[in-house]
Amino acid sequence: MRHLVPVFLCLALAACGGDFSNDDLEFLNALPQRQDLAATVPGQDKEAGGSPRIAGKTALAVGRLGFPSGIIVDTDETGRRFNEVVDSMLASLETIRSAPPTEREPDRRVWGPYPDRRERRFEARFVMTREGERFDYQLQYRRGGEGEDAWWSFITGSFQANGGIRKGSGSLILELRRAREKGFILGLDLLEREEIHYQTRTLPTRVELVFVSMQPLLLPSKYIYRQGEGGVAEMTFELQGTDFVAGGLPEDVALTTRWSPDGRGSGSLRILKGDIQGAQYTECWDNRGRVTFISRSWDFLNPTEGVRSSCPDMTALDR
């Protein structure tokens, strides 16, 4: 994944003045925050009991009992990249929370317009509307001096409230291709959009990160993160061209990893393409990342190793 340069509204905070009304806060609560969307990461410097987790990279491959899990290392790295992209997309919204809106209507709020801090040729404004329990918002730009019809949306989002503060379902879309066509950003030529879709109303919560590209991507185009009761979590994504098993062909795999707050976890991998297409592999690890159980669907002589009961209880994610 590429880490996007954050986009900020240059709000002249000293000039804004005023306070937030209760109704303003209802609008702001419709905007996602990092704690709503960020993934917990299974690899920590220290697990709950204080024992250091095994460090260093391990290639994704068939595991060995008692050795570091390659699946957990890959999930650690993917979770951190997932959070980097989420952070970069949410950075565009953070300044909005710092100042009251400049325009108020019963079901509409506007911040701006203000000169953009990074691209002084452009003006920016943030517009939110409300219809019942649904909120829609847009971060818009136009070149300085242009008219009302010149506004275009770089970020669009929506939120359907249901069940309490910041509880519900929503989406956030970054229109990269449009921004390039308008001369606002350079680079990221292969990506048309980045999208986040989420629901926080019930457990397990769900966050889906999607990359829409004009050409096939080397990295996965979709990641799904879920978190259930008790802090258990799950990440699902696909990897292409891995050397998972010995043979003449690289493997494309679909990987689902689950982990608990104490560091234990399990990974289930299905081979989509390669030497043993259709095969499935499962492994579990302890709170130091060492493999404790292995299951291989293609191995008829020795399909399992280790103790299956060492795998943590993840049924909270199946509700």
Tens of pLDDT along 128-164? 999 999 999 999 999 988 999 999 999 999 999 997 7
The torsion region of residue 278 among left (phi > 0), alpha (psi -120 to 50) and beta comes to: left
pLDDT for residue 8: 41
Q: What is the DSSP secondary structure assignment for residue 4, as one 8-state letter? A: P
Alpha helices in the chain (DSSP H): 13-16, 22-28, 34-37, 70-94, 176-181
Residue 18 reports pLDDT greater than 80: no
Distance, in Å, from the CA atom of 74 to the CA atom of 166, rounded to the nearest integer, reads 31
Residue 11 reports pLDDT greater than 90: no
Average pLDDT over residues 89-101: 85
Contact 212, 303 (CB under 8 A): no
- Give 124's contacts (C-beta < 8 A, 6+ positions apart): 9, 10, 112, 113, 114, 115, 116, 139, 140, 141
Q: What is the DSSP secondary structure assignment for residue 315, as one 8-state letter? A: G
And the tokens for 203?
């457990």
Percent of the chain beyond pLDDT 90?
55
Other beta carbons less than 10 A from residue 150's beta carbon = 13
Contact 291, 284 (CB under 8 A): yes
With CA atoms as reference, report the closest residue to 260 among 231, 239, 224.
231
CA angle 239, 243, 249 (to 5 degrees): 100
With CA atoms as reference, report the closest residue to 119 among 97, 141, 139.
141
Contact 13, 98 (CB under 8 A): yes
Residue 53 reports pLDDT greater than 70: no
pLDDT for residue 219: 64
pLDDT for residue 6: 41
Read off φ and ψ for residue 102, nearest 5 degrees: -90, -20
Residue whose structure tokens are 């939120």: 159
With CA atoms as reference, report the closest residue to 96 among 81, 112, 80, 83.
112
Distance, in Å, from the CA atom of 118 to the CA atom of 314, rounded to the nearest integer, reads 45
Average pLDDT over residues 161-183: 91
Highest mean pLDDT among 66-70, 121-125, 133-137: 133-137
Mean pLDDT estimate for the chain? 84
Distance, in Å, from the CA atom of 294 to the CA atom of 114, rounded to the nearest integer, reads 58
Residue 51 reports pLDDT greater than 70: no
Q: How many residues are recorded in the chain? A: 319
Residue 61's pLDDT band (cuts 50, 70, 90)? low
Residue 57's pLDDT band (cuts 50, 70, 90)? very low
